[in-house]
């Protein structure tokens, strides 16, 4: 391998080259990155005494006074009776009747839960010990941890005085982790109650219980349990957020994917329905991936997530086309106006119509929205070109600096419409993805740039996240890096999977209520994090090198130690060990430091090896010191391996 290390002959790699793609698929957000623990939360509002359970906590009573407008319990649809799943009932027909009605105070979510309690601790029909009521198991069990505080919010209404217990318990209700009593003389108007609960035990499969032993009728709506500790208080689950931050993504594409399109337009992601106070968001059924989301992770939160990650937000929006229905170009204007409003929400002055809504949500400064994608995988559909052009010209006119992404692949032919970038998606077997490393070698250097917004090895080569898949993807990414004059961005897909609802295989980050790990594909991406904004050097593998080798070289500055490194990345996709001679040209004499250089390898004894909850670090990069780094090095590449040489200079 010959490397020309003279930076003047190199090219700057875009700051955005490697990023992430977040889609609401596999419960990535609802029941994942978004820290809300209640599934199908319900809403309520007013003024109330809250009394922490003295027996449990020896605490004093608190007075909380909140006045709000209400909503909630909508996952079963807006009609009654509505399915309250996964809420369940504690008690039987002789002790309580649980139903739904349309009495909520929230205009866009009229469904409330009505609980008619027939038993009473002071009557002949005595309530069972612990009372009767409802419980919510969260998204396949709530992770409640000792010493941590959880904020329970609920809206409640009753024509009688109430004495209701709110608790976090084990999945069978036997282990009490935290509890508080809500005692109020008058909740005849919807009343918002907020109760902080500190857990005195740990259980990864907990539930929220709302119980009472007092006869009467009580309504509940919008019930939420949020851990107090989320990333910067922004609602992102800390550990999952860290997995993203560790990738140092140059951009984040959101919120889909097919999620943006919907099977039907009526179920597509509509940003205006996802902003403002969470209680007022109607939520929606994502019909492509088949589950309800309360849209707590809404448009504002996605922009906030991008900002928190230091990543450029890329908003993919619906252009009037779903999987099964389309809006004619002549009627698309309302959809277009919706998107122009959305851009104003992100970027407008705090005194603009939509910028003021953002400011009211606590972010007066504009978000740095510089990319939008018109649709997802819609190229070739009847109205795509017409709709695209309407959006393209309107956005270009209003926001000339925004870079626009088309769904039509321009890698091997000229497009029939203007665009700044085009999407390129690839899901295929390992050999095919590896060989696509050369896909952009012959792409025109004068046209729009490529955005490889979804790539992954799929099928049997992928297992549920194999080393083989990661190696093929690494080869592909080296090819993209080498072509980063025409490839501006790339992201793996999908990013997250909650193992309890796997809609797509494989995925980069696997989690359940309390555990998580990165697949080899996740770790492979780590090798590329330093490339954003680095200098791509000329490097050539000698003609007789095996076709199963691919390499690239960059120089980059490590901001942590302020030092400059030359990084050479090589994939050996073959099954034999390779002796590789690396010759580095163009360095100042004696510029390689003797100490501080490293070698990092991703490999394993078996090509199909994977990580798991049991062995989360079975296939991860292993770093060691690189001995005797020099301009001429003989190195050994393990069979089926990825190696990064970081040479300190």
Interface residues toward ligand AHR, by CB under 6 A:
23, 25, 256-258, 376-377, 454, 493-494, 504
Rg value, the chain, Cα: 28
CB atoms closer than 10 angstroms to residue 545: 14
CB 26 to ligand AHR: min, Å: 9
DSSP state at residue 216? E
CB 416 to ligand AHR: min, Å: 22
CB 507 to ligand AHR: min, Å: 9
Residues 133 and 152: their CA atoms lie apart, in Å, by 16
DSSP state at residue 617? T
Tell me whether residue 241 or residue 424 sits nearer to ligand AHR (CB atom): 424
Tell me whether residue 52 or residue 480 sits nearer to ligand AHR (CB atom): 480
Tell me whether residue 72 or residue 494 sits nearer to ligand AHR (CB atom): 494
CB 181 to ligand AHR: min, Å: 45
CB 428 to ligand AHR: min, Å: 12
CB 490 to ligand AHR: min, Å: 14
CB 504 to ligand AHR: min, Å: 5
Q: Which two tokens stand for residue 337?
A: 């106006």
Tell me whether residue 22 or residue 335 sits nearer to ligand AHR (CB atom): 22
- 114: CB partners within 8 A, 6+ apart: 98, 99, 100, 101, 103, 217, 218, 219
* 257: preceding bond cis by omega (within 30 degrees): yes
Distance of CA 273 to the CA centre of its chain: 19
CB 250 to ligand AHR: min, Å: 19
Question: Phi and psi dihedrals of 304, rounded to 5?
Answer: -65, -40
Tell me whether residue 377 or residue 501 sits nearer to ligand AHR (CB atom): 377
From first CA to last CA, the distance across the chain in angstroms is 19
CB 496 to ligand AHR: min, Å: 11
Tell me whether residue 137 or residue 249 sits nearer to ligand AHR (CB atom): 249
CB 17 within 8 A of CB 451: no
Q: Give SS3 for 9.
A: helix
Residues 383 and 323: their CA atoms lie apart, in Å, by 12
Q: Give SS3 for 530.
A: helix
| DSSP structure string for 127-178 | PPTT-EEEEE-TTTSEEE-TT-EEEEEEEEEESS-EEEEEEEEETTS-SEEE
Tokens 């309530």: give the residue: 127
- 238: CB partners within 8 A, 6+ apart: 229, 230, 231
DSSP state at residue 343? H
Tokens 């309250």: give the residue: 84
CB atoms closer than 10 angstroms to residue 324: 11
Which of 555, 552, 540, 545 is closest to 580 using CA atoms? Answer: 545
Tell me whether residue 19 or residue 494 sits nearer to ligand AHR (CB atom): 494
- 519: CB partners within 8 A, 6+ apart: 464, 465, 469, 470, 506, 507, 508, 509, 510, 610, 611
Tell me whether residue 153 or residue 258 sits nearer to ligand AHR (CB atom): 258
Tokens 């897909």: give the residue: 493
CB 288 to ligand AHR: min, Å: 7
- 110: CB partners within 8 A, 6+ apart: 71, 78, 102, 103, 104
CB 265 to ligand AHR: min, Å: 16
Cβ-proximal residue to ligand AHR, closest one: 257
CB 580 to ligand AHR: min, Å: 35
Residues 179 and 52: their CA atoms lie apart, in Å, by 7
CB 366 within 8 A of CB 380: no
Tell me whether residue 227 or residue 506 sits nearer to ligand AHR (CB atom): 506
Tokens 């623990």: give the residue: 37
CB 307 to ligand AHR: min, Å: 24
Task: Tell me the residue length of the chain.
Answer: 649
Tell me whether residue 254 or residue 527 sits nearer to ligand AHR (CB atom): 254
CB 23 to ligand AHR: min, Å: 5
Q: Regarding beta strands 61-66 and 578-585, do their DSSP bridges make them parallel or antiparallel, or are they unpaired?
A: unpaired
CB 321 within 8 A of CB 378: yes
CB 291 to ligand AHR: min, Å: 14
Tell me whether residue 261 or residue 301 sits nearer to ligand AHR (CB atom): 261
Which residues on neighbouring strands pair with residue 156, listed in sequence order?
191, 220
Tell me whether residue 141 or residue 494 sits nearer to ligand AHR (CB atom): 494
Tell me whether residue 344 or residue 377 sits nearer to ligand AHR (CB atom): 377
Tell me whether residue 133 or residue 256 sits nearer to ligand AHR (CB atom): 256
Half-sphere exposure of residue 365, counting CA atoms within 13 Å on the CB side? 5
Tell me whether residue 465 or residue 494 sits nearer to ligand AHR (CB atom): 494
Tell me whether residue 181 or residue 491 sits nearer to ligand AHR (CB atom): 491
Tell me whether residue 257 or residue 262 sits nearer to ligand AHR (CB atom): 257
Residues 308 and 310: their CA atoms lie apart, in Å, by 6
Residues 587 and 630: their CA atoms lie apart, in Å, by 10
DSSP state at residue 118? -
């Amino acid at each position: 391998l010959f490397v020309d290390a003279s930076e003047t002959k190199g090219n700057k790699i875009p700051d955005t080259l490697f990023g992430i793609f977040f889609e609401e698929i596999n419960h990535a957000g609802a029941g994942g990155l978004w820290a809300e623990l209640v599934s199908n939360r319900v809403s309520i509002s007013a003024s109330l005494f809250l009394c922490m359970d003295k027996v449990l906590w020896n605490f004093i009573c608190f007075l909380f006074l909140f006045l709000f407008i209400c909503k909630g319990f909508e996952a079963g649809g807006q009609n009654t009776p509505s399915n309250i799943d996964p809420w369940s009932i504690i008690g039987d027909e002789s002790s309580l009747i649980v139903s739904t009605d349309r009495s909520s105070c929230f205009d866009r979510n009229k469904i409330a839960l009505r609980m008619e309690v027939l038993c009473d601790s002071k009557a002949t029909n005595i309530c069972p010990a612990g009372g009767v009521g409802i419980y919510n198991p969260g998204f396949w069990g709530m992770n409640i941890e000792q010493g941590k505080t959880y904020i329970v919010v609920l809206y409640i209404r009753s024509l009688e005085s109430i004495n209701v217990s709110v608790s976090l318990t084990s999945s069978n209700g036997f282990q009490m982790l935290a509890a508080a009593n809500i005692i109020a003389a008058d909740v005849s108007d919807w009343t918002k109650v907020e109760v902080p609960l500190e857990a005195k035990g740990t259980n990864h499969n907990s539930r929220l219980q709302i119980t009472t032993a007092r006869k009467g009728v009580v309504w509940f709506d919008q019930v939420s349990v949020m851990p107090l500790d989320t990333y910067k208080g922004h609602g992102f689950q800390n550990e999952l957020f860290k997995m993203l931050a560790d990738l140092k993504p140059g951009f984040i594409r959101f919120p889909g994917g097919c999620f943006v399109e919907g099977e039907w337009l009526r179920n597509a992601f509509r940003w205006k329905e996802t902003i403002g106070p969470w209680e007022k968001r109607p939520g929606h059924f994502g019909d492509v991936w088949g589950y309800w989301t309360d849209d707590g992770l809404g448009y504002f939160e996605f922009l906030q997530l991008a900002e928190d990650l230091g990543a450029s937000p890329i908003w993919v929006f619906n252009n009037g086309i779903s999987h099964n229905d389309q809006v004619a170009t002549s009627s698309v204007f309302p959809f277009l106006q919706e998107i122009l409003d959305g851009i104003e929400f992100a970027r407008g002055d705090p005194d603009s119509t939509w910028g003021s809504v953002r400011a009211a949500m606590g972010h007066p400064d504009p978000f740095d929205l510089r990319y939008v994608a018109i649709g997802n995988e819609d190229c070739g559909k009847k109205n795509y070109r017409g709709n695209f052009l309407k959006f393209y010209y309107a956005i270009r006119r209003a926001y000339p600096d925004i870079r626009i992404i088309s769904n039509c692949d321009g890698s091997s032919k000229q497009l029939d419409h203007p665009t700044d970038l085009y999407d390129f998606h690839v899901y295929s077997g390992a050999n095919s993805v590896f060989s696509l490393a050369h896909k952009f070698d012959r792409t025109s250097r004068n046209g729009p740039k490529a955005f490889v917004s979804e790539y992954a090895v799929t099928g049997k080569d992928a297992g549920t996240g194999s080393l083989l898949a990661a190696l093929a993807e690494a080869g592909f990414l080296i090819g993209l890096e080498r072509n980063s004059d025409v490839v501006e961005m790339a992201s793996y897909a999908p990013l997250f999977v909650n193992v309890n609802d796997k809609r797509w295989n494989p995925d980069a980050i696997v989690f359940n209520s309390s555990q998580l790990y990165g697949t080899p594909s996740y770790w492979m991406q780590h090798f590329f994090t330093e490339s954003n904004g680095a200098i791509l050097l000329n490097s050539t593998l000698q003609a007789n090198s095996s076709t199963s080798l691919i390499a690239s070289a960059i120089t980059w500055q490590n901001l942590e130690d302020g030092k400059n490194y030359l990084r050479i990345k090589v994939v050996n996709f073959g099954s034999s060990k390779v002796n590789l001679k690396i010759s580095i040209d163009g360095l100042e004499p004696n510029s390689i430091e003797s100490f501080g250089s490293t070698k990092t390898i991703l490999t394993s004894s078996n090509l199909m090896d994977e990580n798991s909850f049991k062995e989360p670090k079975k296939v991860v990069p292993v770093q060691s010191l690189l001995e005797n780094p020099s301009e001429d090095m003989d190195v050994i590449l393990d069979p089926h391996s990825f190696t990064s040489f970081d040479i300190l200079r």
